[in-house]
Structure 1
């Protein structure tokens, strides 16, 4: 059994049927990418896993436990961290303080600092600065670090490159590659080359369904199927 399994999930926003039978799996230690155009259900898939948008049909299983319908905080406590697209953090707190708050009560704050700054050495030089004063890329690193120190076995990462300059995207990609050596990652990413570089496997979504999946090895945007679904 895979670490994370999504089986025939149907999720709605009011009466809008967003996910229409999504199934996917993620093995422990893998990085898996969800790709597709805007509005096809990628973020809703992450929200459904966390039960922020509970499925009306289908199941989500994590580490052998059916979590469908459980409160989100219970799902998170099982070891699933979330790095949302909007980089949620405390902008008026320092980097150190953001890391400290994200550290579980029974965990070592010093170990959390070491974990965060080993993954993101650039942040160590700014640990005393308010997070709101950092660059967009550094803020993204803080957001990912907060998920990493939460004692999570799996991270759901939503659009980490969104709105970042190319050189900052490269830094964030390097950091995610480091994170992925020790943490299972399910990545939503609009930047197709970046997603293929970071992920071991991919699922391509369109209109709330999985239309293609497989290994990222040797996949290019020139592939007819990929191009058809990613083009506007």
Structure 2
């Protein structure tokens, strides 16, 4: 049984039909990448899983249970964490405070700090700094750490490398590799080589539908289907 299963999901923004029958599965322990050009429905897929953009048709299942139509906080309680594209940190709160706010129970705070700072040792010396004073890469680390501290079974990660310098991208990538040893990940990533490096499998989305999927091993941007759908 898949940890996450999406079947024939249709989602809209107003009258705009964004997802037009997306189906995919993510098994426990996998890293699965959603790839495709900007605006084809990758982030909307994440939002539909979370109930932020509820499907008008189709089904979302987590651990085999139908969660379609549930509120976002109910889905989160099922062990689903989210690292949004915009990071959404509390910029005037410290790193410690950002982590603490993301911790579901007061008696889990110390364990949350241990998880955050063992995963991202670089943050430990900045834990009393306001999150808004950190570098872009450090802010992304805080955002990922917040997704981890709820002891989630599934982590939805949206564009973790966006806007980061290459050396910082590698730090974030290494952190995600570490996270993936204990947490299943569905990754939206525009950086194709990074997505292929991190993921076990991929789904290629175009105009709100899955047009290709498979194992990532050996897949390059020169593959005919990849080139056709990812080229500008």
Indicate whether the TM-score tops 0.5: yes
Q: How does 1:61-140 map to 2 (within 5 A)?
A: 61-105=61-105, 107-140=107-140
Distance 1:104 1:50 in 2: 17
Any unmatched runs of 5+ in structure 2? none
The CA deviation at 1:151 is 2.0
The CA deviation at 1:72 is 1.0
Local SS of the residue matching 1:12 = strand
Deviations 1:22-47 (A, max 9, x none): 00000011100000000000000000
Tell me what 1:3 maps to. 3
8 A contact 1:8–1:59 mirrored in 2: yes
8 A contact 1:104–1:151 mirrored in 2: no
8 A contact 1:61–1:68 mirrored in 2: yes
Distance 2:107 2:153 in 1: 15
Q: How does 1:211-230 map to 2 (within 5 A)?
A: 211-230=211-230
Q: How does 1:148-227 map to 2 (within 5 A)?
A: 148-227=148-227
Local SS of the residue matching 1:167 = helix
Task: Mark the CA change 1:107 to 1:209 in structure 2 (over 3 Å): closer, same or farther.
Answer: farther
Distance 2:162 2:134 in 1: 16
The CA deviation at 1:128 is 1.1
Q: What is the number of residues matched between the two proteins?
A: 232
TM-score (norm. length: structure 2): 0.99
Q: Please provide the CA RMSD for this pair.
A: 0.7
Distance 2:181 2:125 in 1: 23
Any unmatched runs of 5+ in structure 1? none
The CA deviation at 1:106 is 5.1
